[in-house]
Amino acid sequence: MIKIVKNAKVFSPKYLGECDLVFDEKILYVGKEISANIFPFDIEIYDAKGLYLIPGLIDPHVHITGGGGEGGFATRTPELKVSDCVRNGVTTVIGCLGTDGITRSLENLYAKAKSLEFEGINTYIYTGSYRIPPITFTGDLMRDLVLIDKVIGVGELAISDHRSSQPTFEEILRIVADTRVGGMISGKPGIVNFHVGAGERGIEFLFYIVDKTEIPISHLYPTHMNRNEKLFESGLEFVKRAGVIDLTALQPTEFGKENTDNDFNSVKAIIKAYENGLIDNITISSDGQGSLPKFDKDGNFLGLSVGSVDAILYTLKKTVEKGIPLEEALKIATSNTAKVFKMNKGYISEGYDADFVLIDFESWEIKNVVSRGCFLMKEGVMKSFIFE
Ligand code: ZN
């Protein structure tokens, strides 16, 4: 069914001014003052006067089935709720396993991704896991990529972390090579998402792959790159070589307290990338439903809190408050991410998927969300799909 949103101030993420938007599952037209009378049938009209319209946020690293467990079974974290995504403008998630690949399964990850899709948002998953040998559906990463529709890449594979399986360079290289070729065969991007820990080696192995092999840098996608300033600096070097790095968004609260500004964090990282003219190769993810454990310097577990998908919108807000233009900040959660994964998303432009958010930027309150052409909220409340 064709619908129109009228009088919205559109960020594509570039600012287009006040526009009307005609869409079904795809955006059909973006322009000025479209009259509903030109259609020979009834169409749904949403008056967005006073609101901004931005592309739906893409969150490329979410533990949709929960994560955690670093402090024993009592520290397992819960599954993602679709309402948390919708309330925070997230219309696309990529699900992954985390540290625990034993009690969390790929089969469950797949089923959860299907369920979230049924409830209205767009979902993909990574095959593989933290550990090597990787967990797979079919016994082989390349087969997973080729044969399983939702699988978009491999990850999160842990490196330079005390929780990693201490993979060798050759082991990592084989995984990247298989992911690339699996992607080629299936027409997918074939991305390996690396969980980068706080270890001294940082992304050394990724630079070796770029320097010593034929594999293009576009298949390497390290995350948590704002973990500390030194790691982020090496990330900027990676970006200067045309790589893309992912930041972990600032959580509004951690351990029950509002996050303070003191440590190095994603807001500071985004500002630095912007000042260096490198923001086009930066993306952001929430690490939603993952555990955010704290360890002492000897690696002893101190406690954990749970990541939330609301961190992306919160980080964008903090970034804009620090003076980064909205259209630049928006890119890191929309068009930049879509480019990494070759998704037909991330822009408000004809032919792109109709995934967008209507937001009041005075209060940063989300008023409605459209995913694959459907409104997901009614009078500010998430619609229920299961009982409708
Ligand atoms: Zn991680």
Please tell me the total count of domains within the chain. 2
> What's the domain range around 195?
57-340
SS3 118: helix
Helix, strand, or coil here: 364?
coil
Q: Is residue 285 one of the residues assigned to a domain? A: yes
State in Å: Cα 112 to ligand 1 middle.
19
Is the residue at 387 inside a domain? no
Catalytic residues: 287
* C-alpha to C-alpha distance for 152 and 216, rounded to whole angstroms: 17
Enter the pTM of the model: 0.95
CATH number of the domain to which 8 belongs:
2.30.40.10
231: left (phi over 0), alpha (psi -120 to 50) or beta: alpha
Ligand 1 center to residue 250 CA distance, Å? 14
Do 320 and 180 belong together in one domain?
yes
pLDDT at residue 112, as a whole number: 98
pLDDT confidence band for 385 (50 / 70 / 90):
low
Are 14 and 106 contained in the same domain? Answer: no
Picking from 34, 35, 27, the residue whose alpha carbon sits closest to that of residue 53 is 27
Higher local confidence (pLDDT), 204 or 296 = 204
Q: Are residues 80 and 218 in the same domain?
A: yes
| Any domain includes 153 | yes
More confident residue, 255 or 209: 209
CA dihedral sign of residues 360, 361, 362, 365: positive
Ligand 1 ion: Cβ-proximal residues, 5 Å cutoff: 156, 195
Spell 184-216 as b/e; 16+ CB within 10 A means b.
eebebbbbbbbbbbeeeebbebbbebbeeeebe
Both structure tokens of 156: 């999160």
Q: Is 388 domain-assigned? A: no
CA of 19 to the centre of ligand 1 (A): 39
Is the same domain home to 92 and 227?
yes
pLDDT at res. 388:
44
Give the DSSP letter string of 66-85.
Answer: --B-TT-GGGBPPPPPHHHH
Answer with the residue of higher pLDDT: 256 or 82.
Answer: 82
Please give the mean pLDDT across all residues of the chain. 93
Q: How many angstroms does the Cα of residue 11 sit away from the middle of ligand 1?
A: 31
Distance 56 CA to ligand 1 centre (A): 23
Q: Look up residue 96 and give its two tokens.
A: 């992954």
Distance 367 CA to ligand 1 centre (A): 31
Mean pLDDT of 43-51: 94
Instruction: Note whether 77 and 25 are same-domain residues.
Output: no
Q: Mark whether 173 and 50 lie in a shared domain.
A: no
**Per-residue pLDDT averaged across 56-78, rounded?**
91
Percent of the chain with pLDDT over 90: 81
Best CA proximity match to 95, nearest among 119, 120, 137, 129: 129
Q: Are residues 298 and 189 in the same domain?
A: yes
Q: pLDDT digit string (tens) for 124-175?
A: 999 999 999 999 999 999 999 999 999 999 999 999 999 999 999 999 999 9
Report how far ligand 1's centroid is from the alpha carbon of 89 (Å): 22
Q: State the distance from the centre of ligand 1 to the C-alpha of 223, rounded, in angstroms.
A: 7
Top-confidence range, 153-167, 257-271, 283-297: 153-167
If you measure from the C-alpha of residue 203 to the centroid of ligand 1, how many angstroms do you get, rounded to a whole number?
14
Are 20 and 151 contained in the same domain?
Answer: no
Question: Could you tell me the distance, in angstroms and rounded to a whole number, from the CA of residue 226 to the centre of ligand 1?
Answer: 12
35 and 154 within one domain: no
- Do 245 and 173 fall within a single domain? yes
CATH number at residue 244: 3.20.20.140
Predicted local confidence at residue 305, as pLDDT? 84
Q: Is residue 214 part of a domain?
A: yes
Q: What pLDDT does 262 receive? A: 62
The answer to whether position 253 is within a domain reads yes
Measured CA to CA, the distance from residue 238 to residue 297 in angstroms comes to: 28
Average pLDDT over residues 202-225: 97
Residue 142 · residue 175 · CB < 8 Å: no
Q: What pLDDT is recorded for position 303?
A: 83
Measure Cα distances from 23 to 1, 49, 335 in Å: 8, 18, 19
**What is the greatest pairwise CA distance in the chain?**
70
* pLDDT at 256 (0 to 100): 67
Give the number of other Cβ atoms within 10 Å of residue 81's Cβ: 15
Asked if the structure places residue 211 within a domain, the reply is yes
**161 inside domain:** yes
Q: Supply the Cα-derived Rg of the chain in whole angstroms.
A: 20
Instruction: Classify burial at 172, counting beta carbons within 10 Å of its beta carbon; exposed 0-12, middle 13-18, buried 19 or more.
Output: buried
Residues 254 and 366 in one domain: no
What pLDDT does residue 113 have? 98
Q: Are residues 194 and 301 in the same domain?
A: yes
pLDDT digits (tens, 9 = 90+) for 105-116: 999 999 999 999
The residue behind tokens 């993602």 is 80
Q: How far is the CA of 194 from the centre of ligand 1 (A)?
A: 8
Cα–Cα distance between 343 and 350 in angstroms, integer? 14
